[in-house]
Structure 1
Amino acid sequence: MEFRHLRYFLALAGELHYGRAAARLAISQPPLSVAIQQLEATVGARLFDRDSKGVRLTPAGAVFRDSAQGLLDRAEEACSLAREVQAGEVGRLRLGFVGSTLFNGLSTWLQGFQASHPKVEVIVVELNSQDQIDALLGEELDLGLVHTDRLPPTLASQPLYSEPFVACLPAGHPLAAPDEVFLAALSDQPFILFSRKGSPDYHARIVEICRQHGFYPRLQHEGRHWLSVVSMVAQGLGVSIVPAAFQRAGIQGAVFRPLAEAIDASAVFAAWRRDAPTVLREQFLAARSG
């Protein structure tokens, strides 16, 4: 049985006249008659009575009509869904993000994408860079927003944006009074850094920034998320160097000052599996620039 047979059957069931049904289908009558005979042979039941009075559905044909219409409707729904998935209009996107992206327009980005892709389910989870890399490798995420482009060969990335690092100090700290902070002034301060395990690359970058300016940070505490680092600074447990986005976090007790020296910026990258489907990812990334 072919879908063509079902379409021909439904046309004839609707018109109850071979000529009108053939015209509706834009075919001649002989192919229609052959198709109906083939369908009846396949079904194993007579679907139409034909005599001098015209064409009528048999009881079997009346029952088959409803089922045939349902089959065609489901087939069209399946085709429509497949087209929507291919076009990136339907599906699920599992997105990981580092905390700083919350203060760099992630919510606006998500809202804009959801408005243009209402049938796409977006699942977001905050993870540090290393946990996102592990989740991407384990196919638990489709896309990650991370602080590093040093990735395993099975992952690809593209830069999204960069921002300066700033000094993060407890409110009332003597170094918070000037308009900017020299890195060397932090050399004797207890440091709070992003966890080496959570983001080895980022941890190493902060240490290297300090080393280039004549000292190694006195590591006092580590946090697995940047907001934890800023919160510990706010509690007076030490100082840190953090991405500038956290100035917008609104954490009381923490103040931020520009660094006097020019240092490499903090960068955020989109990362994904090289063998993963591309449409939803590309459309989500395009939504940010759009």
Structure 2
Amino acid sequence: MIRLEALRAFVEVAGHGNIKDAADKLCRTPSALSMTLKQIEDRLGCALFETDRKASLTAMGRFLYDHSILLLRDYDRAMDLVEAQAKARSGKLRLASVPSVAAMLLPQVLQGFLAGRPDVEIDLVDTDSTDVRHLVETGQVDLGLAGLSDEAPGLIAEPLFRDPLLVVCRADSPLSRQAEPLSWPDLAAETMILNEATRALPAPGFQALVAASRFSVRNVTSLIAMVQAGLGVTLLPALATVALPGTLGTRRLADPACLRTVGLYRREGRVLSPVAEAFRSGLGPAARRIAEQLGLEGIE
């Protein structure tokens, strides 16, 4: 077998028409190149150059040269692609995120991450926290951004920021005229529309509302439409209420436990791809900075 570096030496000598210039280009000695050429000729059993001056190729030399050019070109291109993947300059990043983070935080984070990475592809799934964790656990995505949960076996979570859960109601609702913050008894007469963001809220006052609830909606767009239609009120993280329509309003709750902690999930025991690891390592500082700009609490 003829090594790639031997073929590269042969191509340089043939291209320069002499050993000295090729040796200078390859940072090798002329004698080392001469030995390499002899080894190729011995391996093939035929001469590659018409004379010892290496100024012109034999027919076999031309045949080897033409094929070596193609082989080295393809090899160099392949190695460039491999290096780009290894250094996170290319590749596919598969993400899952809750809608509020996907809409309000990820665009700024990805803008910075993709600067200088024109060959990186992003595949983003916008879904609720339960589904985000499932997608990470089953390996369908590399990383997930969702509310933290104690029920996430096999996953590693890195906390990023906290935002309070707010009551979302119609702007003409009596709740909108009450002083903040609201207590749970203030909501006793309201129909609570449940959603994924409230699934793990343990407050006894809230659980009493859950027992009387008639609705559970997972899609945020549908949830907001239900509230607009006057079917009830709901709780949403502050980040999810930034762009509410003017017909809706928000009220704070007095219960200090009404918080969502958002974190980054990855699968335990799995080595991330270089591009996913680069995104993960840079996400924390960027997410905390953006969260604080929005008035939320970043977690170090």
User: Bigger shift: 271-280 or 160-169?
Assistant: 271-280
Q: Is 2:215 the counterpart of 1:215?
A: no
Match of 1:130 in 2: 130
Match of 1:178 in 2: 178
RMSD over aligned Cα atoms? 2.4
Task: Give the Cα separation in 1 of the matches to 2:98 and 2:107.
Answer: 13
Give the counterpart letter for 2:13 in structure 1. L
1:149-164 alignment to 2 at 5 Å?
149-164=149-164
Match of 2:266 in 1: 272
How many residues end up aligned between the 2 structures?
281
Residue 262 of structure 1: CA displacement?
2.8
Unaligned runs of 5+ in 2: 287-300
1:82-121 alignment to 2 at 5 Å?
82-121=82-121
Over 3 Å counting, the alpha-carbon distance change for 1:154 and 1:215 in structure 2 is: closer
SS at match of 1:55: coil
Over 3 Å counting, the alpha-carbon distance change for 1:113 and 1:191 in structure 2 is: same
> Deviations along 1:25-45, whole A, 9 cap, x unmatched?
343444323321222344455
User: Bigger shift: 42-51 or 116-125?
Assistant: 42-51
Give the counterpart letter for 2:171 in structure 1. A
Give the counterpart letter for 1:280 in structure 2. V
Residue 236 of structure 1: CA displacement?
0.8
SS at match of 2:50: strand
Residue 228 of structure 1: CA displacement?
2.7
Q: TM-score, normalised by structure 1?
A: 0.86
Task: Give the Cα separation in 1 of the matches to 2:218 and 2:132.
Answer: 13
Task: Give the Cα separation in 1 of the matches to 2:105 and 2:187.
Answer: 31
Q: Does the 8 Å contact 1:145/1:268 carry over to 2?
A: yes
Q: Does the 8 Å contact 1:170/1:255 carry over to 2?
A: yes
SS at match of 2:156: strand
> Deviations along 1:237-259, whole A, 9 cap, x unmatched?
11112111232223353211112
Residue 87 of structure 1: CA displacement?
1.6
Task: Give the Cα separation in 2 of the matches to 1:85 and 1:249.
Answer: 37
Task: Give the Cα separation in 1 of the matches to 2:27 and 2:241.
Answer: 68
Q: Is 2:66 the counterpart of 1:66?
A: yes
Match of 1:25 in 2: 26
Match of 2:276 in 1: 281
Q: Does the 8 Å contact 1:190/1:239 carry over to 2?
A: yes
> Deviations along 1:167-200, whole A, 9 cap, x unmatched?
11123111111242222111231110115xxx7x
Q: Is 2:234 the counterpart of 1:240?
A: yes
1:262 to 256, 262, 267: 256
Q: Does the 8 Å contact 1:112/1:287 carry over to 2?
A: no
User: Bigger shift: 115-124 or 248-257?
Assistant: 248-257
Match of 2:243 in 1: 249
Residue 48 of structure 1: CA displacement?
1.2
Match of 2:188 in 1: 187
Match of 1:47 in 2: 48
SS at match of 1:57: coil
Q: Does the 8 Å contact 1:179/1:258 carry over to 2?
A: no
SS at match of 2:199: helix
Give the counterpart letter for 1:190 in structure 2. T
